[in-house]
Amino acid sequence: MSIIDSSLRSDIRPSKDNMNKSLTLTLRMPAELKRRLEREAKYQGVSLNQLTNYMLTVQLTQLETIDIFGNKNYL
């Protein structure tokens, strides 16, 4: 089972309204990072877009959780 598949069972998911909306974002990154992401996406059996969205969501959620539990001003 890929990390993407297991994340779909998580309670931390975007609302259905937001899941249907999609925007385009162009990122500049080192070529080596792109190669690593492509290799991991292939290993997981998902698209580069799916893997990148998953990884960004996980990292952002972790940062938001740290902020909430750290009693920092959040939003």
Its domain, for residue 52, covers 30-69
Q: Is residue 11 part of a domain?
A: no
Q: Is residue 50 part of a domain?
A: yes
- What pLDDT does residue 1 have? 47
Q: Is residue 12 part of a domain?
A: no
Contact status, residue 51 vs residue 4, Cβ threshold 8 Å:
yes
Q: Is residue 18 part of a domain?
A: no
Per the structure, the count of domains in the chain is 1
Predicted confidence (pLDDT) at residue 7 exceeds the cutoff of 90: no
Task: Report the Cα–Cα distance between both ends of the chain, in Å, rounded.
Answer: 35
Contact status, residue 50 vs residue 4, Cβ threshold 8 Å:
yes
Q: Is residue 36 part of a domain?
A: yes
Predicted confidence (pLDDT) at residue 9 exceeds the cutoff of 50: no
* 2, 5, 30, 48, 53 from 45: Cα distances, Å: 7, 10, 23, 9, 14
Q: What is the pLDDT of residues 10-59, one digit of tens each?
A: 444 556 666 668 899 999 999 999 999 999 999 999 999 999 999 999 99
